[in-house]
Amino acid sequence: MKERRYILLILGIVTILSAMYFSGIYYFSTHFLPGRTFQGIDIGLKTEAEVSNQLYAEVMNQTRTIQTVADSITVTNEQLGLSFNSEQIAKQAMDVQNQWLWIFEMFQKKELDEDISYTVNDDVLKDTLFAIGVTNPEGKTEAQNAEIKKEDNGFTIIEEREGTLLDESQVLAIVKQHAISGENIIDVSSAKQMPEVFVKDLEAIVNRANHSVGAIYTLKIRETVLTIPKETVAAAVSIIDNTLTVDRQVFVDYLNSLVAEYTIMGSAGVLDTTNMQTSGGIDGSTIDVATTAAAIEKVVSVGETAQIEATIIKVESPTQISGVGDTYIQISLTEQHMWYYEQGQLVLETPIISGDDTQGWGTITGVYSIMAKERDAVLEGYAYGWDYSVPVNFWMPIYTDGTGLHDATWQSDFGGKTYLGGGSHGCVNLPYNIAEQLFNRVTVGTPVVIYK
C-alpha cells in the first residue's frame, strides 16, 4: 500500500512537471524567453508582434549625431528617413529560439545578434538635413579661391579660404552610407566646400609679374635717356587667366605724350596757296611709336632691367615739291576758317579762333603735320602774368613749340574778329563737335597748312 502511494506520488509529480514543461514549450513557441534583448531593448516574454512593434518604435527613436564643420546635431533614425523590416527581424529571432530547451535557458541573459538592414527615404533625409541646418546655406560661407590683387606698383595674393557651406550631394551620400551601416556619429565636415586655387598656384606668376613691374626700364631717344615711369609699367602689366600680359597700348600712349617734345621738324618751305603746292622743305624726324612700343612690351614681358632705344623715323615734310597730297587740313588765319580734305573731298569745315595777335601770340604759318593725338590732355603755359593749366578733350599738336589744334569749350563764338583780344596763346581753337570729328579722322602725319 505504501509502495503504491509512492508510485502515485511520483507519477503525480512527473505529470505536473511534464505539464509545466510542455506548457513552457507551447508558451515559448510564441513568446521570447526572459532575459532576451535586442540592441539593448528587453524583449523577454513578448510575442513576435509585440517585439516587432516595440523594436520599430524604439529603433526609430534612437539618435545619431551629425558633426558638421562647426556643430554637432542630434537626430533620430526616423528624422533621417530610415526604416527597416521589424517583423522579419522578430520572426528570425523567434525561429532561432529553441523552445524545447526553455527550462535551461530561461535564466540566462542573451543579446540577439540579428542585423538591421536599413533603407533610406532620400526625400525625407534631404528635407531633414536642410531643416536642421546641415545643408541650409544660410549663415554659411562659400569657399574662396586664392586670387591676385593688383596694387599701384605690383601684385599681391589674397589667401584662399575654406568654406563652411557643405556640398549637399556629398553630405547626403555620407549620411546615407554611415546611417545604413549603423554608425552613431556621422562626420560630414569633409563635405565642406574647398577652394580650387591656392596661394602656391599663383606664386610663380605673381613673382614674375612683380619682377616685370619692379625692373628699371630706360628709353634712349637720340642722346636723351629717360626712365619709363613705374606707374606706366604697372598700368601695362596684368595677369589674365594666370598668364602675364603686357598692354602695348599703354606704351603707345606714353610715347605719344613724348612725340611733340622729341620730334624734329623740317623747314616749312614755301607755300603756293593757289594750288596748295610747296617747295623747299627739309625732312624732320620723330619717334616710331608703334615699333618702339612693341620693343618696350617685349622687354617688360621678360622682366629684366634694360634700356630700349627708341626707333627714330624720318618725317617727310609736307613742304616737299610733290605737295601735301589730297588729305590735309587747311587753315586761313585771315578768314578764321578751317577745311579738312580727305582724298580730295571736303569732309569738315568750321570757323576757328587762332592766336591773339594783339598779345603777340599769333598762330604760326607754314606747312606742318599732326605730331600726336591725345585725349584728355592738360595744356600748360604762362600768359597774362600767371601760369595757366587748361584741360582739353582732343589735343593734336603740330609743332614743338606747343602749337596745336584742340577743342575750346570756353569759347562761345568762333570766326570773325574774335581772335583779336579773345584769341588763344597760339593754338587753333575748334568747336567741341568739330574737334571730336577731326580727332577721330586724322592720323599722325596728316599735313596741316596754315597761312594768312
Biggest distance spanned by C-alpha atoms of the chain: 173
Q: CA-CA distance, 194 to 199, in Å (whole number)? A: 13
Q: What angle do CA 280, 443, 236 make, to 5 degrees?
A: 125
**What CATH superfamily classification does 328-451 receive?**
L,D-transpeptidase catalytic domain-like (2.40.440.10)
pLDDT of residue 149: 93
CB 297 within 8 A of CB 251: yes
pTM of the complete model: 0.50
pLDDT of residue 283: 56
Q: CA-CA distance, 275 to 271, in Å (whole number)? A: 9
pLDDT of residue 41: 85
Nearest C-alpha neighbor of 331 from the set 450, 442, 415: 450
pLDDT of residue 142: 87
Q: CA-CA distance, 308 to 204, in Å (whole number)? A: 26
pLDDT of residue 322: 38
Nearest C-alpha neighbor of 114 from the set 81, 84, 89, 77: 89
362-to-119, 358, 420 alpha-carbon distances in Å = 97, 8, 9
pLDDT of residue 91: 86
Parse the chain into domains and list their residue ranges: 2-61+75-113, 202-315, 328-451
Element spanning 56, H or E? helix 48-60
pLDDT of residue 385: 47
One-letter amino acid at 192 equals K
Q: CA-CA distance, 125 to 56, in Å (whole number)? A: 18
Pick the CATH number of 202-315 from 3.10.20.800, 3.40.50.970, 3.40.630.10, 3.90.226.10: 3.10.20.800
C-alpha cell at 220: 634712349
Mean pLDDT, consecutive 10-residue segments, the chain of 452 residues?
72 77 78 84 85 87 89 91 87 83 80 81 91 86 90 90 87 90 89 90 92 94 92 93 92 85 60 50 72 94 92 62 70 92 91 92 86 89 63 91 91 93 92 96 90 82
pLDDT of residue 368: 85
pLDDT of residue 10: 79
pLDDT of residue 13: 79
Nearest C-alpha neighbor of 147 from the set 240, 214, 247, 244: 240
